[in-house]
Each structure stands twice: as structure tokens, then as C-alpha cells.
Amino acid sequence: MPRVALVTGGTRGIGAAISKALKAAGYAVAANYAGNDEAANAFKAETGIPVFKWSVADYDACVAGIRQVEAELGPVDILVNNAGITRDAMFHRMTPAQWREVIDTNLNGVFNMTHPVWNGMRERKFGRIIQISSINGQKGQAGQANYSAAKAGDIGFTKALAQEGARLGITVNVIAPGYIATEMVKAIDEKVLNERILPLIPVGRLGLPEEIARAVVFLASEEAAFITGATLAINGGQYMA
């Protein structure tokens, strides 16, 4: 039986590339999403990967959703916490709602998804938990106090949990992507992209979703058993922590 991998936000952008790469590597993959049924159905039709709709910001919904995934595919051995949102604003204009929404999805969502699968991984003495954080959680970014706080929180969470899982065969790691060519980033004005963003990236281009996905497949593998608590920067040299 193939191991089961669950990818949050796994139907679009980086998450879709991760879902596809894990399937190609032989895992039984489940892709979660929040609300864009059209994108999720198109993804399912294209890939044959089953999709499951719930918000990672809602703990009870995560428990119920994971139960459904496990009933259909089997126990979750690999969890990729990829779902994320932005609600950018300079801090003097940031509303409590913008703060809360980002923390609820990008940080509390990681707790909400990891907590229900943790005991099963402990019992089976195997698990791979991979957070998709961000370069902006490492270096901070003006206009993203909420996002930077949540993504830095994901890194702290990972380092703590890695210590708890280490003797139980569970690794916990973070990937911190830089600018990746998803719809969100491709929507940036071409002049801004060419004159203000690309000059910051020594490699001279945006990253590809597949370049993040490849690293996830590696961290999910048996061979990556000695890597835990690590933050893997995939940012074209833009920030070297």
C-alpha cells in the first residue's frame, strides 16, 4: 500500500505542483482546498487526485476532513501544510480582521492540521510534516506584518515539534520559498517585476512551483530521515539566513 500524503491548498499554485509531484513519486495523495470549487474540480479532472474541501482555519473542520481522507485513503503519513493567504497592508492601516485572517490560516491552520494527525504518526512511528513558510517569515517584509509573523511562527513551531517527533520516526521541516511564478506573482505589473523584484534575485528569475515540489518529495522520502527541524530556503539566493 502506498503511503498517504495530504496537501493543504493542494489544488492550485505551489500546492497543486506538490500534489502532482507526490503522486508521480508513488504516494496516494489527497488535496485539500478552501472554496474555489472550479479550480479544484479542474485539478481533479486533470490529475485524478481526490479533492477535499474545508478551511484549515477551523479546527473541527480539520478533524472531520482528515477523518474523511483517512476513511477513503488510509492514515496520513505525510502532511504538507501549504495553504496560505495574504492580506497585505502597511501596519498603520492593518485592520484586526486582516491580522486575524492571516494568523488563523497561515499559523493556526498549521496547528489545526498537524494536531489531529500527530498521535497516529506517533503510534505508527513514522511521519513527515512539511510546512510551506516564506522568505518573508525569515527576513520580514513591509506591508506584511501579519504574514511575516505567521510564517516565522511556522518556523518556530517546526523546530519545537521536530524535537518531540525525533525519536518516533517523525520529521518536521519547513520550506521557505522566495518569489515563485504562481498566478499571484505573475499578476504583478511587468515593470515592477522587471525593475524592482528580479534585481533582488541573484539567480535572475522567479522560482517554479515544481522546484518547491521537488524538495517536498525529497523531505517526504525515507532517505530524508536524518533531516528534521530544518528550514530549507528556496529563493534563488535572495536571502541567505
Question: What residues are labeled active site?
Answer: 147
In this chain, which of 4, 6, 15, 23 binds ligand NAP, going by CB under 6 A?
Answer: 15
**Cα atoms in the Cβ-side hemisphere of radius 13 Å centred on 82:** 27
What minimum distance in Å lies between the beta carbon of 93 and ligand NAP? 21
Only segment of 52-60, 114-122, 164-172, 216-224 that touches ligand NAP (CB under 6 A)? 52-60
7: nearest Cα among 26, 27, 121? 27
Q: How many of the other CB atoms lie within 10 Å of CB of 228?
A: 20
55 binds ligand NAP, rule: CB under 6 A: yes
Answer yes or no: are the C-beta atoms of 98 and 146 closer than 8 Å.
Answer: yes
**How far out from the chain centre does Cα 28 lie?**
18
Binding mask 57-96 for ligand NAP (x = CB under 6 A): x------------------------xxxx-----------
DSSP character string of 131-148: EE--HHHHH--TT-HHHH
CB of 33 to ligand NAP, least distance (A): 4
Taking contact as CB under 6 A, which single stretch among the options 8-16, 116-124, 138-146, 194-202 is the one that binds ligand NAP? 8-16
In the set 4, 29, 34, 51, which binds ligand NAP (CB under 6 A)? 34
Contact between 32 and 53 (Cβ < 8 Å):
yes
Alpha-carbon span 194 to 181, nearest angstrom: 13
Site string for ligand NAP, 128-147 (x = CB under 6 A): ----x-x-------------
Nearer to ligand NAP, 225 or 241 (CB): 241
Options 5, 6, 11, 112; binder of ligand NAP; rule CB under 6 A: 11
Are 97 and 47 in contact by the 8 Å Cβ rule? The answer is no
Distances (CA, A) of 16 to 43, 75, 78, 200: 8, 21, 15, 26
Nearer to ligand NAP, 1 or 187 (CB): 187
Q: Which residues bind ligand NAP (CB under 6 A)?
A: 8-9, 11-15, 32-36, 39, 55-57, 82-85, 105, 132, 134, 177, 179-180, 182-185
